[in-house]
Amino acid sequence: MNLPLTALRNGETGVITSTDFSSEHRGMCEHRAGRGWKKHFRVARFAKRLSDLGLTPGTKVTVVKSAPFNGPLEVSVRGSRLAIGRGMASRILVDVER
């Protein structure tokens, strides 16, 4: 099943299938001038940050827990522990076996 990272239960592990929300944006950016392009840029910047921290396609990622009141997720990836804002986490797609 291909799900956003936020849909994983605590302790569940999935394999990342996509981290860049940029491909879907790109089409939009070419049509819309200015703002759209900037948005793509910004999103790409943070997608880059995520992959720099080890969240790349094909990587196993475990959701350890989420902070209360819809707070960030604590994930474990490549042996390190990261906190990721919920909005961004919802755009990371993972493949889970259920």
Partner 1 sequence: MSNKHFRIALAGNANVGKSVIFNQLTGLHQHIGNWPGKTVEKAEGTLHFKGYTIDIIDLPGIYSLSTFSIEELISREYIATEKPELVINVVDASLLERNLFFTLQLLELETPLLIAVNQVDMAKKKGIIVDYEKAEKILGVPVVPTVAVSGKGIYHMLETAIEVIEKKTKMEPLKPRYGQEIEERIEDLIILLGKIQLRYPVRWVAIKLLEEDEEVEKEVLEVSPEIVATAEKLRDELEQLHGHSCPTVVTSERYQVASRVSGEIQKITEPLKTPLREKLHRVTTHRILGFPIMLAAVLAVFVAIFTFGDFTSALLGDFFFGLKPAFDSVLGTGIVGELIWGGVMEGIIGGITVALPYILPFYFILYLFEDSGYLSRVAFLMDNLMHKMGLHGKAFIPVMLSFGCNVPGCLGCRIMETARERLLTAFVVTLVPCAATSVIILGLVGAHVGIEWALALYIINLIIIFVLGRIAFKALPGEPTELIMEMSDYRIPHLPTVAKQTWFRLQEFIVMAFPLIIAGSLVIKFAEVMNLLEPIANIMSPITVTWLGLPLMAGIALIFGILRKELTLIMLATLFAPIPLANAMSSVEMIVFTLVAMLYIPCVATIGALVKEFGWKKALLITVFEILFALLVGGIAFRILTI
Choice between 74 and 96, CB closer to partner 1: 74
Write down the least CB distance from residue 17 to partner 1, Å: 9
- Cα–Cα distance list, 66 to 7, 9, 37, 73, 96 (Å): 11, 9, 32, 4, 18
Amino acid, res. 74 = E
Mark residues 34-73: x for contact with partner 1 by CB under 8 A, - for none: -----x--x-xxxxxxxxxxx-xxxx-----x-xxxxxx-
Cα R_g (the chain), whole angstroms: 14
Q: Indicate which single residue of 81, 92, 93, 96 sits in contact with partner 1 (rule: CB under 8 A).
A: 81
Q: Indicate which single residue of 2, 11, 32, 78 sits in contact with partner 1 (rule: CB under 8 A).
A: 78
User: What are 3's two structure tokens?
Assistant: 């799900």
With beta carbons less than 8 A apart as the criterion, state whether 73 and 87 touch: no
The CA distance from 25 to 20, in Å, is: 9
Q: Please list every residue from 3 through 32 that binds partner 1, using CB under 8 A.
A: 18-20, 22-23
> Which residues sit at the interface with partner 1, rule CB under 8 A?
18-20, 22-23, 39, 42, 44-54, 56-59, 65, 67-72, 74, 78-88
